[in-house]
A and B are shown apart, each in its own frame.
Chain A
Amino acid sequence: MARIVFTANLQRHIDCPAAEAEGATVREALEAVFRTNERLRGYVLDDQQALRRHMAIVVDGKPLRDRVHLSDPVSAASAIYVLQALSGG
């Protein structure tokens, strides 16, 4: 299962420890986490379920390419980091 780590700055607003999640894409892995933590969804994704404008995701050292559909592939050994983009100020 892929490992998902959320920025520590998010922990102040909502409990979201690092998680192990199954899925073939970033979307599937995140959805697996949201199934047990629905409130977290709105902190990471916008109303259209795209990555929030000032959020960033890094998969195995590479920035997410598909910010709308989150279709970037992940493997069972992947590390997914959900971070703040510096663009947000």
Chain B
Amino acid sequence: MSDRLAVSTRKGLFWVDRNGGDWRVAGADFLGDNVTLTLHDERSGYDYAVLNHGHFGVKLHRRGDGAWKEIAAPAYPSKPEGLVDRDGWGKDIPYSLINIFSLEPGGSDEDGLLWCGTIPGGLFRSRDHGATWELIRSLWDDPKRQQWMGGGTEWPAIHSICVDPRGSAIVRIGISCGGVWETRDGGSAWKCRADGMFAAFMPPEMSRDPNVQDPHCLVQSRSAPDRLWAQHHNGIFRSDDASGSWREIADVPPSSFGFAVAVHPREPDTAWFVPAIKDERRIPVDGKLVVTRTRDAGRTFDVLREGLPQEHAYDVVYRHALAIDESGDRLAFATTTGGLYVSEDQGDRWREITHSLPPAHAVRFVG
């Protein structure tokens, strides 16, 4: 069981601790600053925090036993003079770090290795706890990368990184919009693996192109790694063959649109989503904040609402703002309107911890 949450918000990183059965905000770091993502690396004990200062750029901070210290952020290489590099919409791709959209540890056998997904579409790796970073050129230089497009962001965003528990060299990433990509050799070679996903909002001749898909969030079962779940712009998708193919889970009440997904650590058929009206309005259906849960791989869903606001709730939960702990019993999510909710029984009942945080980007259980 995890007794601590890290909540990344527009105005700081908030630590929320469980004491005597109650969850309370215990402290804050970077108060007033835009903290977009955190990572607690169990291997090293380091905490990492991503700060997007807007004017001053995106910074990465690390903490061991002592105070936070700024470390190197991934940086794009010099853009060759005269090079034309455009995204799928024909817009010039900036060779500059616009944002860090995912940060994950490598495998348990890769001490110090971190993966970092960014906007405008570069994947980076550090082998020294974030002291230095390398752009994964094999992916960046793949001509198909120039078909990727921004989706919700101006340029393509690598938002999900799944290191396969069967082997650290197998890594899958989710891209808005560039589908799902897989390497089986630690990043030397990559393949797009989004067959079966479709985007009804695209022109018909493009709607099933794996390389233009917009998975909002991608998670992998640790106990049955062939099972992956994706909350896609177009709905919920599931893979039973390690991203070799995807099938839509259709007609999920009250909506299959959303951003976040969590999968149970030992039950691959059990996953949670936080739905919203599709898609320009992006508010909970009927102003009722709910979580949906399947226990049978998507054949049926429970709509979980006990303890959640059921009138005039306009909370949206971003793709990194739903988390599950190692036990599989505790879930937490934080919202764009500053709500933080925790369940200790797999979502049957929720408790509002606070509704007055700044707008939340991300939530992680720590420890």
**Interface digits, A46-85 against B, CB 8 Å rule (1 contact, 0 not)?**
1110001011000000000000000000000000000011
Q: In whole angstroms, what is the CA distance A13 to B95 when docked?
A: 24
A48-B95 CB under 8 A given contacts A39-B70, A42-B73: yes
Q: Are B56 and A52 in contact (CB under 8 A)?
A: yes
Q: In whole angstroms, what is the CA distance A89 to B97 when docked?
A: 19
Q: Which residue of A lies closest to B76 (CB)?
A: A47
Q: Are A47 and B97 in contact (CB under 8 A)?
A: yes
Q: Is the interface of B mostly helix, strand, loop or mixed?
A: loop
Q: In whole angstroms, what is the CA distance A48 to B79 when docked?
A: 7
Q: Are B96 and A47 in contact (CB under 8 A)?
A: yes
Q: In whole angstroms, what is the CA distance A55 to B57 when docked?
A: 10
Q: Are A46 and B56 in contact (CB under 8 A)?
A: no
B55 contacts the other chain (Cβ, under 8 Å)? yes
Interface residues on B, range: 10 to 19
> CB < 8 Å: which of A42, A44, A47, A89 contacts B54?
A89
B28 contacts the other chain (Cβ, under 8 Å)? no
Q: In whole angstroms, what is the CA distance A47 to B98 when docked?
A: 10
A54-B73 CB under 8 A given contacts A46-B96, A48-B95, A48-B96: no
**Interface digits, B39-83 against A, CB 8 Å rule (1 contact, 0 not)?**
000000000000001111101000000000010010111110000
Return chain A residues, CB-CB under 8 Å to B57.
Answer: 42-43, 46, 52
Return chain A residues, CB-CB under 8 Å to B56.
Answer: 10, 13, 43-44, 52, 55
- Sorted nearest first, the 10 A-B pairs with minimum C-beta distance are A47-B96, A46-B96, A47-B76, A88-B55, A43-B56, A54-B55, A84-B55, A47-B75, A88-B54, A48-B95
Q: Which residues of A contact B (CB under 8 A)?
A: 9-10, 13, 39, 42-44, 46-48, 52, 54-55, 84-85, 88-89
Known: A47-B96, A52-B57. 10 other contacts (CB 8 A): A42-B57, A42-B75, A43-B53, A44-B56, A47-B75, A47-B76, A47-B77, A47-B95, A48-B78, A55-B56
